[in-house]
Structure 1
Amino acid sequence: MDKNSAAALYKKMQTEVEAYQGLQKSCVKVVKQRAMLESQLNENKCVLDELNLLGADNKVYKLFGPVLVKQELEDSRQNVGKRIEYISKELNSSNNTLESMEKDMHKHREAVSKYQQQWQVAAAMK
């Protein structure tokens, strides 16, 4: 293997490493986002559980800025249910994104490994 092909091989390996590192950083962001969504989902499920314990004679208030505004119980249940649905969809989306990123990371790891092996063979032949 001549000097130019060794340099080209090294450049390919470096490109794969950089792509892998970029995916790692993105992956960390998605994991943080997913954790936040899971927290919001659990919180909203607890709120819905509490709302389901209330009877028709109970009063429900919602905080709008600095003001508490009376709200119908059924409206509150529906709003929280819609929030749970939305958060669940976002959570599924982030899970799918993370799964796709992990597959891409695996491909880059394999490519780096392949280039490293080729590099070692070339170095041993010198």
Structure 2
Amino acid sequence: MASSSSSAAMRELQRELETKANDLSKLQKDISKNHQVRKKYTIQLGENELVLKELDLLKEDANVFKLIGPVLVKQDLAEANANVRKRIDYISAELKRLDATLQDLEEKQNSKKEA
């Protein structure tokens, strides 16, 4: 009987260990996904900041065009400027959100590793 209860305890311990390992693996995948999304946003932020610098060099009467599908559509310089700034604000906010999520995921990962 003693061996049967220790065998059951062993199986339970193994199940618990597998569950914790799976949880840790899922967290690591989430962290990796977060890094990929963050990289994409960082690239977009750089591109938009470059566009903003170019727009700032233009005179007020300059022709500005926006690519919509296969068509270039004329756009007001002030409107283009405002759109790019809004995009930069949005991307910056998303990066802050991703950083907070990443920090939370890494804290969970560390506590899972300790467990």
* TM-score normalised by the chain length of structure 1: 0.83
Cα distance between partner residues in 2 of 1:65 and 1:11: 53
> What residue in structure 2 maps to residue 48 of structure 1?
52
Instruction: Say whether 1:5 aligns with 2:4.
Output: no
Identity rate of aligned residues, in percent? 40
Q: Which runs of 5+ in 2 are unaligned?
A: none
Instruction: Say whether 1:30 aligns with 2:31.
Output: no
Counterpart of 1:11, as a letter, is R
Secondary structure in structure 2 of the residue aligned to 1:70: strand
Instruction: Say whether 1:107 aligns with 2:111.
Output: yes
**Structure 1 residue 82 displacement after superposition:** 0.3
> RMSD across aligned C-alpha pairs, in angstroms?
1.3
Secondary structure in structure 1 of the residue aligned to 2:61: coil
**Structure 1 residue 24 displacement after superposition:** 0.8
Counterpart of 1:76, as a letter, is A
> What residue in structure 1 maps to residue 23 of structure 2?
19
Trace 1:19-98 onto structure 2 (pairs within 5 A): 19-98=23-102
Secondary structure in structure 2 of the residue aligned to 1:2: helix
Higher relative contact order (CA 8 A, sep 6+): 1
Cα distance between partner residues in 1 of 2:39 and 2:16: 35
Cα distance between partner residues in 2 of 1:68 and 1:22: 44
Number of residues of Structure 1 aligned to a counterpart in Structure 2 = 111
Cα distance between partner residues in 2 of 1:25 and 1:68: 40
Q: Which runs of 5+ in 1 are unaligned?
A: 112-126
**Structure 1 residue 5 displacement after superposition:** 1.8
